[in-house]
Amino acid sequence: MNLPDFTSISWLFLLTMIFFVIITGRYFLVAGLFYFIFYKWFPAKFETRKINKKKYKKRQFEKEIKWSVLTSLLFSVAGTITAILWQKGYTQVYTKIDLYGWLYLPVSLVIFMLLHETYYYWIHRWMHKPAIFKIVHKVHHDSNIASPFTAFSFHPLEGFLQAIFLPVMLLILPMHYYVIIIQLTIMTFSSVINHLDIDIYPKSKKNILTKWVIGAAHHAQHHKFFKYNYGLYFTFWDKIKKTER
């Protein structure tokens, strides 16, 4: 199948808009679903799992959504750039599973997530340097009590740092496009769950989700104290570097 030239002005705009609709739609669907389930439809069932008892700041959701829409636009531009790189043959994205086999599908997902975790942990710690924090990361921390809509609430500079990782990795790491879709879905759900401010994972410290996977209770400590719990998906870097609270 002959594809159109993605570098033409019309296709650049169209691709970016397509990605924007998909990314914002995914954000509103997942964040909105969690918000209505846990805060509107069944709040009484999760009252004991609520982490912070204080009310949200006035107009917090509105501000978070505005920043999140801007972040989604940056992610959309990154998606367009990735599509162009793929069309020109610069990426390692592949479409035939037989090229690397079925076993490589989950292996590539795990490799990507571990590398993403490492990148995010260290860039996150860098963003907490006082001079950098005021410019890059303060917007996200304006949500002292996180909400589902905090998930994509970033300053454009932080949004850029978030967006650039996937295109760069796809230049190096072979990934089937199905795995990319799964990874992006995991990223969205993980980010919303981590900012939910309601702990939905088991409370036992012996449970693997509690010990190694970041949840709302873990990440709420970061928004409260600023200097602990820098991880994205997992807790292992915080454990290794003794930054876990």
pLDDT digits (tens, 9 = 90+) for 61-95: 999 999 999 999 999 999 999 999 999 999 999 99
Q: Residue 104 falls within a domain, yes or no?
A: yes
pLDDT digits (tens, 9 = 90+) for 125-174: 999 999 999 999 999 999 999 999 999 999 999 999 999 999 999 999 99
Whole domain around residue 61: which residue ranges?
9-240
Please indicate, yes or no, if residue 4 is contained in any of the structural domains.
Answer: no
Does residue 2 sit within a domain?
no
**Residue 207 predicted with pLDDT over 90:** no
First to last CA, the chain: 53
CA 53 vs. chain centroid, Å, equals 25
- Count of domains for the chain: 1
**Domain contains 135:** yes
Global pTM value: 0.92
Q: How far is CA 21 from CA 15, 60, 62, 86, 205, in A?
A: 10, 23, 19, 21, 39
Q: Among 18, 22, 61, 67, which residue's Cα sits nearest to residue 184?
A: 22
Residue 86 lies in a domain: yes
Residue 22 domain-assigned (yes or no) = yes
Q: Is residue 152 part of a domain?
A: yes
CA pair distance 174, 215, nearest whole angstrom: 29
Determine, yes or no, domain membership for 44: yes
Instruction: Note whether 50 and 197 are within 8 A (CB).
Output: yes
